[in-house]
Structure formats: structure tokens, C-alpha cells
Structure 1
Amino acid sequence: MQLCLSRDFPDKMFRRPFMVRISSIPYRWLALFTVSIGSFVATLDASIVNISFPSLTRAFAVGPSVVLWVSVAYLLVSVSLMLTVGKLGDRLGRKKIFTTGFALFTGGLVLCALSQSMTQLILSRMVQGIGAAMIISLGTAIAADAFPTTERGKALGLLSAVVSVGLLTGPVLGGFLLDLLDWRAIFYTRVPIGIVGTAMAATLLKKQPRGEKRFPFDWPGAVLLSATLSCMIFLFNFGGRLGYLSPPALALAGITVLLFVLFVLREQRTAEPTVDLRLFRNRVFTSGNLSLVFMFFAVSSCTFLVPFYLIDALHRTAWHTGMILSVISATTLVVAPLSGWLSDRIGSRLLCTAGMAIVCLALLSISRLDARSDGADVVLRLFLFGLGSGLFQSPNNSAIIGAAPRSKLGTAAAMIATIRQVGISLGVAVSGTLFAGYRALSAAKLAESGVGPSAIGDLSLVSSFQDTLFIASVICCAGIFLSLARGKEGPGGPIM
């Protein structure tokens, strides 16, 4: 019996039909997957490092005020550079900047893991911050550019879900690594992911056509913008400790306002501004960004105050508190892709307005919790908060991106990332100040009324928790009207 073999027998024999060839996967999904890895590691970094602060104080024999700079240095660098990096991506190519950022972020992880002093660790975190600015600023723009406008909401919804996974994973993974190994593990265990992500960005992402050959970059505007954002972050982070009416805080506030005015004047007079202020003539772009401030004001107020309530008033463990808070991210993880998909069909106005209204209602309901509430009461209210947040974020991000010309997608995406961080910092600053003030006032009133010292702590905490979140819910109502004011941009919203 003769066995006849065709020429392509080896290929047929060793081919595995169940293995998907990369070349057969549409580019938009490869781009989204690559960008998602970047969004995951950047978001994971924000939630995994803070849990190591107690370990760092012991390892380097320094106080909490010094260890705080591990977070502040990263925040200062990343926030101050986001819009500048977005502009560079639009002009030099988003793939180039994104890939460079991934490599810098990964190198920063290595440097952090090898740090022998707190100074080295803080400097290494600044390197990470530069890389994170490049990843976060351009990831959304790359994903939005890869998808047609009719699928943009769905893509950004999936990206929001990845961010939620990072927020969920960080505290759990960080606690596990700290218990099993040491603080260095929270850095070096992520290096392989960074290497893979950098390689994927370099090989899979398409090159964006460069802008004009001549590149008159607005260095004075970039410096003024970075200085403005840095001063603002300083003010938000340290104003609560110094007192916002203290001379240093007032001086810092004055410098921030002055730098911002100089920045706006500079941008109006230059032909190639770092931030094209004409984008704000678009009502969708402006309303979307302003409502984003109030959304993340709400998010940071809630996530900042609820742990105090759970740990100090209900006497829950830190682990249990983290699990309860994860309800917000878990709900957003499910809702964000669905709301993004829906926004491709009906637009963002209704979804964002409904999401903002639900968040305000959730804040109001959380503010009614007291010392007799149980875990189920808290979980139900946090679920409602996550529902509103997930309903708002993907359609709003899609609307902002869609309101910008294709040549300015990097700037629009960087604006989202910057405004988000401004909202978070503002929420912590305002809610923290109100919470401390109300607690001192409540404790004084309780002492005057004859309440025993042992009960004053819990009672004043619950009272100040309720009052602060009630005010936060009222403030965030502005986001509802801003979402309504955006007008109707239509499903998908064009990218020109």
C-alpha cells in the first residue's frame, strides 16, 4: 500500500487549528488588548503600593510622613506630565510614546525593587510616574483610534472594566505578597508583565502618521502647565495638614492661580499650544470634563470616608473593609462595558445623567448609615454607587474622545486622565477637611452634653461621616446638570 503525501503535509501535520493566529485577529482587538495591559499595570500600581506603607516605615526606619512621598512623588510626576505627553503623542506618534512609557514604567519597577534607601525608592517612583503618564495618557487614545466610532463606547467600556480589575486586584495581591514575601515583591513580581507589555506595544501597535515635520513644541506652556498641576497637587495633599487658611497653604494657592493664568495667556498666544483651548468651545468636551470632576470627587469622597466608618465605627477588620469596598469596583466591572456598548447606540447624555444621579443618590443613602447598620446595608449602598459610576464613565469618556479631532486624541485622552486625578485629589482634600472639622465640632458638643469620653469617639465619627457625605452628595448634584448641559452628540459621536 503506497502512502501519498502532499507537499504541504508537514504544514498540515503540525498546524493546530485551535490556535488562533495573531495575524487573523483584527487590529482593533490587538490594540485594545495591548493597551489594556498598560491600563491594568498602571491602575494596579495605584492600589498595590499604598498597602505597603507600614512595611516601608519599618524597613527604612522612617516615619509615615516620609513614606507618604512614595505616593506623592509618583502622583506629582505623572499628573504634571499627562497633558504634555498627550501632545507629544499626537505629534511624534502615540505608539512611540506609549512603548517608551511602558519601558520606563518597567524599568522603574526594577529600580524600586533594588532600592536600598528611601531616597532611591522615591526617585525610582518618579521614573515610574513618567512611564505611567505616557501609558495612561495615550492608552485611551490608541484604543479609540483603533475602533470605528460605532464601537468606540464598547471599547472604552472594556477598558474601564480592566481598570476596575486593577483596582480590585491591587489590595488583595499586595497583601498576599507582603505576607508571603516582602515589600520588594510588589515591584519585582510585576516586571515580567511590563516586559511582555512593552514587547507587545513595540510589535503589535501600528505607527500613527506623524504630524507636521517641523515640530515647534510649546516648552514654556508645558513648563507652566506642569508647575500649575504640581502646585495644585501639593496644595491638595498638604493643605489638610497645614490648614487651608495657613500662610503656606494660602501662598501655594496664590501661586497655583497665578501659574494657571500665565499658562492660559501663553496658550492663547502660541500657534502650537500644549493644550488647544479651542477644544473647550465644544460643549460636549467641556461638559464631559467638568462632570468628570464631580464624578471622581464623589468616588474619592466615598472611598476615603467609608473605611473610617467601617473600621472605627462598625469595628470591621482591614481585610473585611477591603472586601466590602471592592463591591464598587466589581459592580463597575460589570456595568461599564454594557453602558459603553449602549452609548454607541443612544449617545452619552441620558446614560451620564442617569449615572451621575444614581451616584448622588448613593452618596445620600451612604450618609444615612449609622452605628446600628450592618454589612448588608453598606454593601447595598456601595452596589448602587458602583452602578452609577459604571453607567457614567464609559459613555462620558467616549463622548469626550469623540468631541476631539483625530489629530488631538492624545490631548483629549490625557485631559480625561488629568481631570480624573484632579477630581480625586479635590474630593480627598474637601471631604478630609470637612470630616476633621465636623468631628472636632461634634466631639465638643457631645462633651458639653455630658456624654462619656468612651462614647464620644464613635458618636462623633458617625456624625461627621454622615454630615460630610451629605454635603458631598449635594456638591455632586452639579454633575447631573453638567451632564444634561452637554447636549445631544448622537450615537458614537464623530472623530474628525
Structure 2
Amino acid sequence: MNRAADITGAAVRQKRLTSILFNVCVGQFIVGLDQRALLVALPTLTVTFSTSLTTIQWVLLIYDLLLIGTVITVGRLGDLFGRRRFYASGFLVFVLSSALCGFAQTAGQIILFRGLQALGGAMISANGRAIASIAFPASERGKAMGFASMAFHVGFLTGPTLGGFLIYTIGWHWIFFIILPIGMWGAFLALKLLEESKEDVKGTSVDLPGAILLMLTCSLFIFAMNEIPHVGWRDPLVSGMLTLSALALALFVFVELRSAMPILSFSLFRIRLFTTSMLSLVFITSTQSAISFLMPFYLQDVLRFSPTQMGWIIIANSVVIVMVAPLAGWLSDRMGSRLLCTIGSGIIVIGQYFIASLSIDASIPRIILPLLLIGFGWAIFNSPNQSAIMGSVPRDKLGTASGMNTTTARTGGAMGVALSATLFTYGLAAAGMTRAQIESPQSWSDSPEIFVHSFNHTVHIVNFFTILSVLFSAVRGRRHE
């Protein structure tokens, strides 16, 4: 009798966990889908709204600025006032803003509504991982993070193809409208399946000054990083934004150390596993973004590949991630994160070494194999690292930790693009190219040897940061239950 009851109880529990994980995966999927589908729509939006590329890039930039600026805050608010509430609300905000984007009549409107969409994306990203971390025991947390990572990359892979099809057949509006049924379904599942979880803290209040200063710190820094590839480090605007970001950071630290209920508790950084996992993440994402930034130029301007060929090559590593991420998460539940993250980041070092030795006439297999290796390494690293981050912090800081995971990854990505662009252009200048030639992709095609030489040196240099990720992975603390 008791055995039958135990079996029934275990089956009910497993069904509940599967439902929770599925709902979290829906959130990760639509965030990844939207992020990639919009990329293929930028040329169409530029023509539709009769605007410039400089203006239309804000459709992407405003999302990053506000997502990074708010994700820690909404994660903390979820900890305090209810993760289910903020997660379900995130779906509704994402759906509403997607509908508004689809009905936008001007570039200014779509930029404004994308800012609102970023808030919904932040609420989904921060609270979804926190909900999964609470629902799953430590022995299964890695598996949950692995499936969440897989769902994001499925959306990431689907986005360009689906976006291109929708634009070609029924119009650009539908890259936003396609989100509506998925998002409403996600909100319905969240409200139906999830139990509310929040921390019982007396005297709970919102640290509004800290939230504003954190948003300014992150947004100003990311804006400056975005401008560096276009205008350089010495541009007055870049210098001004970096200075203001540093001042906002100093004020943020001052305010948080004196706050009774801070947005970001600096005590988290005294947790060795948490800190080393974050450092591993920021270094590895900086090199990953550097490769992602430079590779399309190499494929298009040196090897003269078509956009279709280029697209299939670039998604090679994401295909591997989709297949391997759940397995890596499952392994991390049994082995911990240290060995897997060290091996994964080490594999990325090897893959990037082979990327850094590409020639002006490299074959498609010679390009794809290192990308597959990098994707495999990232899958082995990412799920265990996320599990380590979420498992190392107290329960009442899970939303904060999840938000910091997103902020750290995106900040590392922005830094990697800025650094690689600087190193690459410096290499072109050192080879004798004028400023006008450096800014002209046609000049890169005319001088493929110079391009490849600078490309190779840039990748070798940024690969050093992946080596740092290997080291921090190796010295991280043991699994924290």
C-alpha cells in the first residue's frame, strides 16, 4: 500500500516538475526566437520606415540597454514580491509590447515598444531560472538548466528562418504577431501550473535609488561599448558615457552598502563558487561574442560566401548546443560544475585556436569543424555553470542571481565586440590601411591577406580571456547544495 502510494506520489511530483520545466522553456524559447527573428527584419524596417541604419539599430540596442539595466532589479523584485507574479506578468508585457511593435507606424514607435518588450524579457529571464531552481532539487537542477538552455537555442535557431519566411510571405509585422499566441500560452501555463514563491521578509520595500543607479550603470556602459566599434575609444561621447557609468557605479555601491533591502547584495561575492562562476562567464562570453562579430565579415568579404551559406555555417555551433546542453546539465547533477566547466572552456580554447588559423581559402569543413567544437565546449560549460550560480546562493537571492547571470553574459558580450573591433581595426591600420579603407568592407575584399592576418591575431588575443575562464573554472569551489 505504502509502496503504491510512494510510486503514485513520485509520478505526480515528476509530472509537476516536467510541467514547470516546460513552462520555463516556453519563456526561454520566445526570448531566443524574438532576438533572432528581428535581425533579418532590419533591412525591411529600414525601407518601410524610410529611415537610416543608424536609427534602425536602436530597435536592437534599446532592448539590450533596458534588459541589462533592469534584469537584476526585476529578479530581486520577484524574490521579494512573488516570482510567479513577475514571471507571468513578464509574458503579458512581452505579448502587449509585441502587438504594439507589430502595429507600429514609425521607427520611433517600434523603438519605444521594443523598450517595453525588454522589460518583459527581463521579467521572464530572471524569474524563470529562479522558479526552476526552487522547483528542482539540487540533484536535478543542472538538468533543468540544460533544457532551458536548449529551449533558448531552439528559438535562436528557429528565429532567422521563421522570420525570413514570415517577412517574405505575409509581412514584417508577423515576426511580432507570432509571439502573441506563444506568449499568452506561457502566461496561462504560469498562472495555472506554478505555485507562488517569495521570501518572507518583514518590512519589504523597493530600493528605488539602487534600481535607478544600477540601470544607469549598466545601460551607459553597454551604450559606450556599442559605440566603440563605430567611433573608437577616444570619441568624446564614448568617454563621457564611460565616465558617467563609473560615477553611477560608485554611487550605486555607496547606496547599496547603506540600504536595508538592497537590489544587489554584495555578500554574494563572498561566495567563492558564485564569484568564480561569474568571472568564468564574463570572460567566455566576451570571446564568444568576438568570434560571432568577426566571423560574418570573414565569410562574406574574404571567402565571398552568400548570405544563405553564411547563415548555415554560423548556426553550426547552436545545433550542437541544442543537442548537448541537456546531457551536460544531467552530468553536472552527478559531477558538479568544476570539471565540466573546465573541460568545456578548454574545448572552446582549442576551437578558437583553429579559428585563429583560418586562411584566405579555407574550405567549409575547415570552418565548420572548429565552430562545432566551440558549440560543444559551450554546451558543456554553460548548463553546469548556470546550475552552479543558482545553487550557490541563498534561496532569497535566486532572482537576483538569475538576473546577474543575464547581465554578466550580455556585458561580457558587449565588451568582447568592442575589444575585437578595436584590435581588428588596429591590425588593419598597422598593415598600412587608411581610415577610409578600414571603414570600407570592399577594401577588406581587395586585401584578403591583410584582413585574415588581423582577424587571426585578434582571435588569438581574445582567446586569452577564454584561458582565464578555464583557470577560474578550475579553481572554483565545490558544488554547493
Shared fold (TM-score, shorter chain, > 0.5):
yes
Residue 482 (structure 1) aligned with residue 472 (structure 2): yes
Maintained 8 Å contact 1:298/1:359: no
CA distance in 1, matches of 2:373, 2:195: 40
Residue 189 (structure 1) aligned with residue 183 (structure 2): no
Counterpart residue number, 2:327 = 338
Counterpart residue number, 2:136 = 147
| Cα 1:24–1:364 shift into 2, 3 Å | closer
Give the one of 390, 397, 402 matched to 2:386.
397
| Cα 1:265–1:455 shift into 2, 3 Å | closer
C-alpha displacement of 1:471: 0.8
C-alpha displacement of 1:302: 1.3
C-alpha displacement of 1:129: 0.6
Give the one of 412, 415, 419 matched to 2:408.
419
Counterpart residue number, 2:38 = 49
CA distance in 2, matches of 1:123, 1:487: 43
Counterpart residue number, 1:3 = none
Give the one of 449, 457, 460 matched to 2:447.
457
1:294-321 alpha-carbon deviations (Å, 9 max, x no partner): 1111221111111111111111111111
Between the two proteins, the alignment pairs up a number of residues equal to: 465
Residue 128 (structure 1) aligned with residue 111 (structure 2): no
Give the one of 282, 298, 318 matched to 1:329.
318
CA distance in 2, matches of 1:397, 1:476: 17
Residue 471 (structure 1) aligned with residue 471 (structure 2): no
Maintained 8 Å contact 2:341/2:384: yes
Counterpart residue number, 1:273 = 262
1:95-117 alpha-carbon deviations (Å, 9 max, x no partner): 00011111000001100000011
Maintained 8 Å contact 1:27/1:146: no
CA distance in 1, matches of 2:61, 2:265: 28
CA distance in 1, matches of 2:115, 2:51: 19
Maintained 8 Å contact 1:442/1:463: no
C-alpha displacement of 1:216: 2.1
C-alpha displacement of 1:46: 1.2
Counterpart residue number, 2:104 = 115
Q: How does 1:24-423 map to 2 (within 5 A)?
A: 26-423=15-412
Counterpart residue identity of residue 264, structure 2: V
Maintained 8 Å contact 1:358/1:385: yes
Q: Considering only CA atoms, is the larger Rg found in Structure 1 or Structure 2?
A: 1
CA distance in 1, matches of 2:109, 2:133: 37
| Cα 1:153–1:173 shift into 2, 3 Å | same
The secondary structure found in structure 1 opposite 2:315 is helix
C-alpha displacement of 1:437: 2.3
CA distance in 1, matches of 2:398, 2:444: 56
Identity of aligned residues (%): 38
| Cα 1:404–1:55 shift into 2, 3 Å | same
Maintained 8 Å contact 1:90/1:410: yes
C-alpha displacement of 1:427: 1.0
Q: Which runs of 5+ in 2 are unaligned?
A: 1-10, 438-442
Maintained 8 Å contact 1:90/1:211: no
Q: TM-score, normalised by structure 2?
A: 0.94
Counterpart residue number, 2:7 = none
CA distance in 2, matches of 1:163, 1:454: 34
1:66-115 alpha-carbon deviations (Å, 9 max, x no partner): 00010111111111000100110000010000111110000011000000
The secondary structure found in structure 2 opposite 1:444 is coil
C-alpha displacement of 1:240: 2.4
Counterpart residue identity of residue 205, structure 2: P
Maintained 8 Å contact 2:444/2:451: no
CA distance in 1, matches of 2:86, 2:29: 18
Maintained 8 Å contact 1:361/1:473: no
